[in-house]
Each structure stands twice: as structure tokens, then as C-alpha cells.
Amino acid sequence: MTMLKKNVTDIDVRGKRVIVRVDFNVPLDKKTGEITDDKRIQAALPTIRYLIEAQAKIILVSHLGRPKAGPEAKFSMKPAVDRLSELIGQPVTLAADVIGEDAKHKAELLQPGDVLMLENVRFHKEETKNDPVFARSLASMAEIYVNDAFGTAHRAHASTAGLARYLPAVSGFLIQKELDVMGQALQNPKRPFVAILGGAKVSDKIGVIENLMDKVDTLIIGGGMSYTFFAAMGKEIGCSLCETDKIDLAKSLIEKAEKQNINLLLPVDTVIAETFAADAPSQIVCSGKVPEGWMGLDIGPKSISEFTEVIKDAATIVWNGPMGVFEFEAFAGGTREIARAVADSDAVSIIGGGDSAAAIELLGFADRVTHISTGGGASLEFLEGKVLPGVDALLDKNPRRTMAAGNWKMNAGTPAEALKLVEALKPAVAKAASEVVVAVPYTALASVVEACSYTNIKVAAQNCHDQDSGAFTGEISAKMLAGMGVSHVVIGHSERRQYFAETDESVNRKIKAALNWGLRPIVCCGETLDQRESGETLSLIHSQIVAAFENLTIAQAAFVTVAYEPIWAIGTGKVATDEQAQEVCAQIRKTISELYDEETAASMRILYGGSVNAANASGLFAQPDIDGGLVGGASLKSDDFSVICLAGHA
């Protein structure tokens, strides 16, 4: 994910209204309502100052606390506005609402360099539901979206992912730093690579352990989660914290580490007490020999010494989770000394947010580590290898990143069939550089959308109606699809043109309907065999593209992918030669340049469809004007489709 997404420097913001998702969910004093820690506001300053200097018109949006029943004064963004105004040395206006008249009026009045803060976005329940109507209304105030809230990037909310459906979306400097530093550590770490995992529960870290197991040289496990591993080894843990339902998992992880020659380190001694209390009398015992009625609350001095030796020689360190109950001074020694060892090391050191970040701040080592992540849950999910919706929604650095779009047609139409296919596909395409899309039957859309959450697989519908509602029996609107969480829609498929008499005009109407609801259209064009043999191909394709893009702005056109699908090659086993496919795709790009400009044409993604398979994909995708494929039958076989997906480039 490093460097693959555009950031705020990759887009022209001068004089434009830019809506910026920030994380100003700062702690407030319960009595005075004053901010007790402004680090989250400070973290957003580089992006805000850049936008001010670039003379953008800045609209900030954030949440604060957990309001449950609409607007509540105690959760107003006013304290954050006041503090931000002090930090940037200029007034910051606070809107009285989020998408109401006051917010929209104040957004209209913005001058270059002005800053407006919307009220708490979670005053609207539609925010966390990623409601498309709410997201579209929020987007209507701006021309560009910048996400700089890494702490919420793991949530598919309206202000984190929904806005990117309607506006060109890029990251701010904070998210870019998170992706660069943590991404580098995971993708190409300096070695030895040491991961330190602690905290209470194995269940909180299963994904992280499994993902890091393929990358690290040494895995140190401490904290409450270590006792589940000791239980898995048949050791005595007294009444220490233990997830009995995760014992078999712990056994399998121990076996996997041994098989992969990973140095898995558990504490050799443990600080124990009879009660969970700050002043509980304690003693030190060998790990795995905790007496009945006693509980482990910290790692002991021998463990600290052993772990420190490994940390001292590390070149890359990732730490997530404390070694003990660091909130109690008597049981903070392990966490403190591990923090000191990380701070003293020469390694690239990354603290993965949450309790680890709090501990290293509290213990005074924050300025001696390479990077402290601003996202607790987000950093954890990033370390797990999950796709973060708030990052995934941003524009790719390469607008012509290969797309492999599988069109299932009327196959795998039941949820059970579709889920079986998707579950087989997930691991097969997990490392694909291509953007992976599956266009599934309507009957399975909801199931597949849910199954593909937090993965690199996007979901498309195979068609949509051009009206939002009405007496159109059996039709599905773009609005309905957006409400389901569908991200793409195939429009004007060559088979539909042939069998259902879809016209250029109806295709154009459907494209506009899709864009109106934040769907990404994959627009098809193509000729029959008779038309090809009579020499009509290039002129026909030209007219189809002109009609499809009629009255679309440059901004709208940027969200469209074109697929050349010769009707004579669909389901026939025939396929255009590389040269034939390239010739038509070049014509499409030439037509786009005539309709708009060379820059728009150069960044337009164009696919080839028509009997694409594992054997011919790499040759087709290597053509200069072909950026992927719309794949039929081969997309129903995970082995074949994964080969096609892996044939692409980032």
C-alpha cells in the first residue's frame, strides 16, 4: 500500500473547496470540557497548513466522542475549533450543523485560505452507516476530498470512504506517513525484524500474529495473551487470564513458528499476585509455574533481559500491546523496560497505536522511537494485512492500474454458491497488484458485498436502471445498489446491446445515474462479426464512445472505465488477437482525447473483454492501451482468475 495512493501534493487544490476528514476525537476534561491532549489536532497540522498556503478553501470534518441521539452540546467540535485556531494563528469558523443550511452557506462563503469546521459528523446516524444520500450531501460542499484521519481509516463510514465515491480522493500527510513507515516495515523490512505483541487477549491479535508470522525473524509474545500460549503448552497458569477457546489456535501458532524457523519467545518468568489491584503484594515465579489462586500481571526480570538482548540487535521493530498491567505502577516494569529497550535501539521502531502508544507516551520514550501510529484499531488492522476502507477508497498513483473484472453473468446466483466462489478467490488474489472486481448476479450481491469487506475484492452489479425509483417492475436502480454497498456497475454490456436492444442513449443515461450515486461505471462497447468484416469497427466504436460520454464533465469521465467487448468474441471461444484488441483500445483513447484532452485520455482505464483467460491475459494486458480485462467464464475458476489478476501491474 506504500506510495500507491495519491496524496494532497498530487492534485491541484488552489482555489478549490477541499473537504478534509481529520481525527479530532480528542480527550476532554469531564468537568471543564477543555482538551487534555491535543496530539490528534497537532498531527493534522501539516496537511491543514499545506492547504492554507496553497490557497484552498478548507472544510474540516471529524467526530468527537460517541453521541447517541443526535446533537449534544458536550460533543460539539467547538473545543477543537478553538484549539486549532490557536495553533494555526487564524480564525476557524464552526458550522452549526453538518449538512444543513448553515454548513452549506458557510462553505459557499469560504475564501482561499479560510478554514471551516463542520459540527460533529456523528450527530448523524447516517455517518456510521455510510449512507449514500448523506455522503453525497456532504460531498456536495466540495470539489476534492482529503482523508487525513488514519485513526478512522479502518471504518467504512460516510466521511471516511463514502466521500471518495463522489469526489477525487487523496490522502493527507499523516496517512501518507502511516502508510510509508508501516508499509515499508511489512513489505521490505530491514533485518533482523522483531515483532513484540502484548495486551490482554490472543483473540485481539490473531490476524496480526498470522500476518507477521510470514515476515518476522523473531516474535516476542508478552502480556495477558502469553498465558493462553502457556496453557497450550500444558503449563500451570493459576488463575491468569486465559482464552480457553483459543488454546488450539495457540498450539497451531507455536507449531507454525517452529516449522517456519521463527524465533518465538515467551516470558521465562512472571510477576504474580493474588488479586488484580494496584497495591497487591507480588512475587516472581518461573513462567508456567503460577500457583493456583495467583495470576500473572507482568513479565519478570529474566524475561526483560532476554527480550532486551533480542531487541538490541534488531533492525526493524514493530510493537503492539503492553507486557503487563502498566496502569499499575507495581506491574509496569516489564512494559517500561521493553519501551526503554526499543527507544535505545538503533532499529526502525514502530509503535502500533492504542495501549502501546499510550504506554510509550506515559513512560516518556515517545521522542525516541521512529513512529507512533495515530490509529489504534486502524494500525492493528493494517498490521493484520486487512484492507482499510478509508485508504482503499483513495485514488491510485497510477490511474491506469490494471483492473481484472470478473463477470459471473447468471452463474453462482445463490448466496451459497457465490460465497463458495469468493472464499476460494480471496487467498488466490490477496497479493494481486491489479484492482480486482467481481460482477455478481443481483441475488448474491448482498452476501458478496459483506464477504468482501476489508479485502481487495470490489463488487459490481451487472446492470442498473437509469431512474432512482418508479413503476419499473423488476429493475434495480443505481441508488439501490449504492445503498447495498456495491462499488461498481457494468453498463452497456455487449450481450445486453445485442439481446436486449440497449442503445447508446440508454447507456449514457445509466452512466449518469451510476455517477450520481457514487458508483464506478464499467462501460462496454463492441461490434458484431458482420460489422467487423464490413470494416465498420473503428467508426462504430467511435460513435459508441461519443454517445456514452455525452454531457459528462472531465471530473465525471475520470470515474469511468471503458471495456472493449467484441460481441463476436463473447462466449464463442474466439478472442481478438493482441493487435486487434490494441487497435480498438487505441481508438477509444483517441476518441476520449478528442472529447476532452490528452491528459484525460492518457489516464483513462480501458479493458479488453471477450474470452479473456489465463493463457492470453498477459499478452493482452501488455498492450500499451489495454489496462486489464472484463473476464467471463474464467472468472468462475479461482485458479484461472487469480492468474489473470496477477498478470496486472499496480
Nearest alpha carbon to residue 315 among 350, 354, 357: 350
Work out the average pLDDT over 289-304: 97
pLDDT beyond 50 at 253: yes
If asked whether residues 127 and 93 sit together in one domain, one would say: yes
Catalytic residue (choose from 119, 127, 178, 565): 565
Could you tell me the CATH number of the domain that includes residue 309?
Answer: 3.40.50.1260
Statement to judge: residues 156 and 205 lie in one domain: no
154, 371, 493, 502: the catalytic one is 493
Q: Of 384, 416, 441, which one is at a domain's C-terminal end?
A: 384
| Same domain, residue pair 559 and 587 | yes
Which pLDDT score, from 0 to 100, does residue 296 have? 97
Distance CA(128)–CA(383), nearest Å, equals 23
In this structure, the answer to whether residues 642 and 507 fall within a common structural domain is: yes
Residue 562's Cβ-count burial label (10 Å; 0-12, 13-18, 19+) is buried
Q: What pLDDT is recorded for position 359? A: 80
Q: Domain with 519 in it: what CATH number? A: 3.20.20.70
Residue pLDDT, tens place only, 410-440? 999 999 999 999 999 999 998 899 999 999 9
pLDDT tens digits along 30-57: 889 999 999 999 999 999 999 999 999 9
The domain boundary, picked from 175, 203, 232, lies at 175
Domain-terminating residue out of 125, 144, 175: 175
Whole-prediction pTM:
0.93
Asked if residue 391 belongs to a domain, the reply is no
Considering the domain architecture, whether residues 27 and 61 belong to the same structural domain is answered as yes
Are 407 and 457 part of one and the same domain? Answer: yes
Helix or strand holding residue 137 (H, E):
helix 132-139
Instruction: Give the separation between CA 61 and CA 22, rounded to whole angstroms.
Output: 6
Number of domains in the chain: 3
> For this structure, is 598 an active site residue?
no
> Is 119 a domain residue?
yes
pLDDT at 202: 87
pLDDT of 3 reads 56
In a domain, 324, yes or no: yes
Q: Positive or negative, the Cα torsion across 538, 543, 544, 550? A: positive
Residue bearing the bigger pLDDT, 375 or 314? 314
Q: What integer pLDDT is reported at residue 1 of this predicted model? A: 45
Q: Cα dihedral sign for 246, 251, 252, 254?
A: positive
Report how far residue 257's alpha carbon sits from residue 263's, in angstroms, rounded to the nearest whole number: 7
Same domain, yes or no: 370 and 414: no
Provide the mean pLDDT of the chain.
Answer: 94
Domain with 526 in it: 402-646
Question: How does pLDDT run across 493-546, given as a tens digit for each residue?
Answer: 988 988 898 999 999 999 999 999 999 999 999 999 999 999 999 999 999 999
365 lies in some domain: yes
In a domain, 181, yes or no: no
Q: Rounded to an integer, what is the distance from CA 176 to the centroid of its chain?
A: 13
Query: What is the CB-side half-sphere exposure of residue 558 using CA atoms within 13 A?
Result: 17
Per-residue confidence band for 187, with pLDDT thresholds at 50, 70 and 90: confident
| Position 614 pLDDT exceeds 60 | yes
91 with 126, same domain?
A: yes
In a domain, 510, yes or no: yes
For 198-240, what is each residue's pLDDT tens digit? 998 888 888 899 889 989 999 999 999 999 999 999 999 999 9
User: Is 63 a residue of the active site?
Assistant: no
My answer on whether 420 and 306 are in the same domain is no
- Does 392 reside within a domain? no
